Amino acid sequence: MYEFSRGPLVWIAFLIFFTGSFFRIVWMIYTAKKEKVVLPYINAKYGFRSILHWVIPFGSVNMRLRPAFTIISFLFHFCLLITPIFTLGHILLWKQSWGVSWWNLPEGLTNIMAIIVVLSILFLILRRIADPTVRFVTSWSDYLLLIVVVAPFVTGILAYYQAFDYDTAITIHIWTGAIWLAAIPFTRLIHMIMFPFTRAYMGSEFGYVRNAKDW
């Protein structure tokens, strides 16, 4: 099972991720062309300005109104994206399988970053339960998606500390990671890829058309 997990399963997950993401982008462009007011309004200046304000902590009024949530959100997204790429164990697997490698972050640091992701997910779950406004727009699929996101990090931490049989832990870790990767094109996780496009449109709509700010 381990050999299948680190070999064919990973290839399948990446194939689904790249193929699904490609078709989502193609479909987005196709539907945008059908709407005569979308693509003509895209403006590089205002689109980039909007993206810049929304990727900088406290760059928008909404972020400044909720400082605690903003800090947790940025820490969560940063660790979520950086940890899997620069974890030593992942890089070693790439080198063993495909002969490519890159520099890694210290193991202790990536472990802390994985823990930050887990704690952030717990915060997001509690927020959806406790905040009436957020709870109103929350469905069971939101909780399921949060579990899909956090599972690779929980299993990775368990494998790192060898909380139980290592082979079992690392196999589950690979499977949860593959499920997370494959789920991106078909769930709201696609915002990881669509963010620049949607934010560029919003920035163009507000700045280029309405002569207003969107942050």
Cα 71 to Cα 67: distance, rounded to the nearest angstrom: 6
Q: Is residue 214 part of a domain?
A: no
Cα 137 to Cα 170: distance, rounded to the nearest angstrom: 35
Domain count, the chain: 1
Contacts of 18 (CB under 8 A, 6+ apart): none
Q: Which residue carries 């942050």 as its tokens?
A: 215
Yes or no: say if 192 and 24 are a contact pair by the CB < 8 Å rule.
no
Question: Nearest 5 degrees, angle CA 181-CA 186-CA 188?
Answer: 90
Q: Is residue 215 part of a domain?
A: no
Q: Is residue 94 part of a domain?
A: yes
Q: Is residue 184 part of a domain?
A: yes
Question: Residues 44-96: pLDDT tens digits?
Answer: 888 899 998 899 999 888 899 999 999 999 999 999 999 999 999 899 888 88
* CATH number for 45: 1.20.950
**For residue 109, which amino acid is it?**
L
State CA 145 to chain mean position distance.
Answer: 11
Q: What is the pLDDT of residue 146?
A: 95
Tell me the pTM. Answer: 0.88
Cα 151 to Cα 39: distance, rounded to the nearest angstrom: 38
Q: Where are the alpha helices (DSSP H) in the chain?
A: 2-4, 10-34, 44-55, 61-65, 67-86, 88-98, 107-130, 132-136, 140-160, 166-183, 191-204
What pLDDT tens digit does each residue of the chain (215 aa) get? Answer: 767 777 788 889 999 999 999 999 999 989 888 887 778 888 888 889 999 889 999 988 889 999 999 999 999 999 999 999 999 989 988 888 778 889 999 999 999 999 999 999 999 999 999 999 899 988 999 999 999 999 999 999 998 888 888 888 899 999 999 999 999 999 999 999 999 998 988 888 888 888 888 87
Q: Is residue 140 part of a domain?
A: yes
Q: Which domain holds residue 191?
A: 2-29+38-209
Q: Is residue 78 part of a domain?
A: yes
